[in-house]
Amino acid sequence: MKVLGVVITYFPDPEELKFNISTYVSEIDKLIIWDNTPNQQVNYFLPIIGGKNKSKIQVMSTGKNEGIAFALNRAAEWGINNHYDYLLTMDQDSNFVEGCMAHYLEIIQRNNRLDILMYTSMLRLISGDSPPFEGEFLEQKLGITSGSVIPLSVFAKTGFFQEELFIEGVDLEMCWRSKKYNLKIVQVNHVYLNHTVGNRKEFNFLGKKLHSYNYPPLRIYYSARNHIYLYKKYKDKKFILPYFYHNIFKRSIAILFLEADKRRKLYAMYLGIIHGLKGRLGRYA
């Protein structure tokens, strides 16, 4: 079993990235650092790609921000062309709990299922632990890219990630699309991924807990636009109602009362909703 990893970076902190990579690189066969930082010099990554795993790590970039889906697709194509079996997809700020990566790949290799879109790990959010689960596997309806292992053979069935989404919802779109191919999303229990969701802070507001993620306006725009677009495309009512409650209604309150740059963030959300309804995709300049 040959495993290719890809970690997508954007203005990464080199020490944090070096540590995060160290939690999984020794267990895989090759790692691509796809850098979306505009005009970044390869020398920036020298402290990261040195050491005993130097031969495993390769930095790729076009010199500009191409978005998440573009980077994932180029890594998948590279893996297919070089005869790899699986693709591990990582965010720059995520890392595995010690010992989990070897256990993760051992379970995947032992099961070797043909009906899988992706294997996912258990998220241990930086701002709160994940709930415990019994058994080895738990089938899920949706999964995120960070910490997931995707059989490269599935792209021949499903096609590649939708690049027009740029960022936000790229993984959800692939999960929904895969349903017509009867592919499963399987969480491998007791494999823990430390995962950061924004700059999350918790507040008490009118007697209730309210979370503020402090996303920048552009991230809020893509989130609103792409999720509205995906609901129109796939019409999953069980998804869109909770999404509106948590990511439009509650996020608006958090921005209005708890965050800075309120006007730009609320406008970005409004514009994202409008563009999502109109089906406008691609990079927003």
Rounded to 5 degrees, φ, ψ at 278 are -85, -10
CATH topology for 3-195? Spore Coat Polysaccharide Biosynthesis Protein SpsA; Chain A (3.90.550)
Pairwise CA distance, residues 124 & 5, whole Å: 20
DSSP the chain: --EEEEEEESS--HHHHHHHHHTTGGGSSEEEEEE-STT--GGGGHHHH-STTGGGEEEE--SS---HHHHHHHHHHHHHHTT-SEEEEEETT-EEPTTHHHHHHHHHHHH--SSEEEEEEEEEETTBPPPP--SSEEEES---STTEEEEGGGHHHH----GGG-SSSHHHHHHHHHGGGT-EEEEEEEEEEEE--TT-EEEEETTEEEEE----HHHHHHHHHHHHHHHHHH--HHHHHHHIIIIIIHHHHHHHHH-SSHHHHHHHHHHHHHHHHHT--S---
Give the pTM.
Answer: 0.92
pLDDT at 127: 46
Strands 116-125 and 184-195: parallel
List the single range of 24-38, 75-89, 183-197, 200-214 with lowest mean pLDDT. 200-214
Domain residue extents for the chain: 3-195, 201-278
Radius of gyration, alpha carbons of the chain: 19
List the single range of 72-86, 129-143, 176-190, 192-206 with lowest mean pLDDT. 192-206
CA dihedral 48, 53, 56, 58 (to 10 degrees): 10
Rounded to 5 degrees, φ, ψ at 249 are -65, -60
Mean pLDDT across the chain: 90
Q: 57-100 pLDDT, tens per residue?
A: 999 999 999 999 999 999 999 999 999 999 999 999 999 999 99
Q: 221-251 pLDDT, tens per residue?
A: 999 999 999 999 999 888 888 888 888 888 8
pLDDT at 33: 97
